[in-house]
Amino acid sequence: MTMLLILVICGFCGFAIDLGRMYNRKVELQTVADTIALAAARELDGTIAGVTRARSAAMRVAMNTFYNYNTANIDWSEDAIAFSARPDGDAWFDAGSAAQPARATTMFYARVDTSKFPTRPGEVGMLLMNVVSSVAPTAHVGSVAIAGRVSIDIMPLAICAMSETRGEARGTELVEYGFRRGISYNLMKLNPNGAAAGANYLVNPFIFPGGAGASVIGSLDVIRPFACTGTLAIPTLAGGPLTVEPDFPLDDLYEQINSRFGTYSAPCNPVTAPPDTNIKQFDAATGFPWMSKPPTGQAAESRTSGNKLLTIADLPASEIPAETTGGMYGPLWVYAPAVIKDSRYVEGAPEPANGYTKFTSAAWPTLYNPGAQQVKTGQAYPQTPYLDKTQAPVGLKATANRRVLNVPLLRCPVTSGAASTADALVVARFFMTVPATETDLYAEFAGLAQVHSLSGQVRLVK
């Protein structure tokens, strides 16, 4: 009986030891797959270059990763990695196919399968079990990891593009989609297709472009975290129209938007929604002593032209009343000066890394005339007041440029309905000059964002 029991005990011991080795190898390979997938996914930015960098990052990490208790290194093969537009989809592409121009713009997820490595690191030789029985001398384990972008730094607020022209000249000044840099706008009171009320929209933060989602405007507790962080829970705006709803509920979300000034209302907190490094309010009544004509309001004054609701700064030159005063153009150049449409501007190309050619404040009388706004005698315009006139939040870790809202500009009009779809032409950057209120969101136009630079969190999704 003892001899028989010894055989049984040895069998169970062998099973336990070999099962433990299989488990350890599975854990090791899962770590390998996770590490490679994350490294690749961090490089994916919607460009062909991003796919190329992802391939290189995956190979580099794999060749410096070890398994089998750090005694063997991974032999890499590109067969082990694939890319997709969705983490839960069936369309996965090898690196070459993913780098095709029409496809690369939507590639934001990387999948790594360790069973595709050429040296088959998932083979685990059975030791004690092989002594008892030669039925299964080798076990096979493998791991799969999927990582990708789970958010994008874009507000769940969208407004209409005031023009569908990417760049046009107003004299020598560059105007982008109908907006002038350095001009402050009330984002709630703009409409290129109606003069009675502003056209603004709540973006469904969960629906991938091209999908159709249900109304979320009645579930604002779900939306508030996205207003805090200024993000959407999707990886990109490419791939189709956005799901939007008319009349952005500013009265319910303005407190969350104001987290950028270091004031917090649930569910915002300084960890996920840090304040800006400069929380100074550039109030029109007191914040612009260098302007010869004090601003008459927090933004350029609203006007109508035809069937458009815009500002006095956007009226055609022939329609600006002669009695216009310089102060009607509102605060100027808090964050971004006006720029010149010259050879540095290339149609369809992103803005150069060092920006377009900037006007100096000496151009104010020409740019903002009638009214001839200019720098006050004896004063000097502080180049970029946001950087020059600062107020740091007290006791909170801050992030620079948090007051810059990345806002999709839609092709309007948008189909009416509780939840409809609209094409996002581009993402515009608007700098909040003062905290939002229940009815008004004042922000200065600061140019267009390069969407691939707006990446949010990258993490494992499987």
How does pLDDT run across 370-379, given as a tens digit for each residue? 999 999 988 8
**Considering only 5-14, 25-34, 61-70, 351-360, which range has the smallest mean pLDDT?**
5-14
Instruction: Give yes or no: residues 76 and 193 share one domain.
Output: no
pLDDT at 443: 98
Q: Which residues contact 336 (CB under 8 A, 6 or more apart)?
A: 181, 182, 384, 431, 444, 445, 446, 447
Instruction: Give yes or no: residues 401 and 437 share one domain.
Output: yes
Instruction: Give yes or no: residues 22 and 165 share one domain.
Output: no
More confident residue, 280 or 105: 280
What whole-number percentage of the chain has pLDDT above 70?
Answer: 97
**462 falls within a domain:** no
For residue 176, the enclosing domain spans 152-455
200-203/242-246 β-pairing: antiparallel
**4 falls within a domain:** no
**2 falls within a domain:** no
Please give the tally of structural domains in the chain: 2
Q: Which residues contact 6 (CB under 8 A, 6 or more apart)?
A: none
pLDDT at 136: 57
Instruction: Give yes or no: residues 283 and 262 share one domain.
Output: yes
Instruction: Give the tens place of pLDDT for each residue, 178-208.
Output: 999 999 999 999 999 999 999 999 999 999 9
pTM for the whole structure: 0.89
Peptide bond into 87 cis (omega under 30): no
Instruction: Give yes or no: residues 141 and 166 share one domain.
Output: no
Instruction: Give yes or no: residues 167 and 257 share one domain.
Output: yes
Instruction: Give yes or no: residues 141 and 158 share one domain.
Output: no
pLDDT at 213: 80
**3 falls within a domain:** no
Instruction: Give yes or no: residues 283 and 297 share one domain.
Output: yes
Instruction: Give the tens place of pLDDT for each residue, 136-162.
Output: 577 778 899 999 999 999 999 999 999
More confident residue, 18 or 419: 419
pLDDT at 49 over 80: yes
**Considering only 71-75, 78-82, 156-160, 357-361, which range has the smallest mean pLDDT?**
71-75
- The gap from C-alpha 131 to its chain's centroid, in whole angstroms, comes to 58
Most confident of 62-66, 210-214, 269-273, 284-288: 269-273
Instruction: Give yes or no: residues 114 and 247 share one domain.
Output: no
Where does the pLDDT of residue 27 fall: very low under 50, low under 70, confident under 90, or very high at 90 and above? Answer: confident
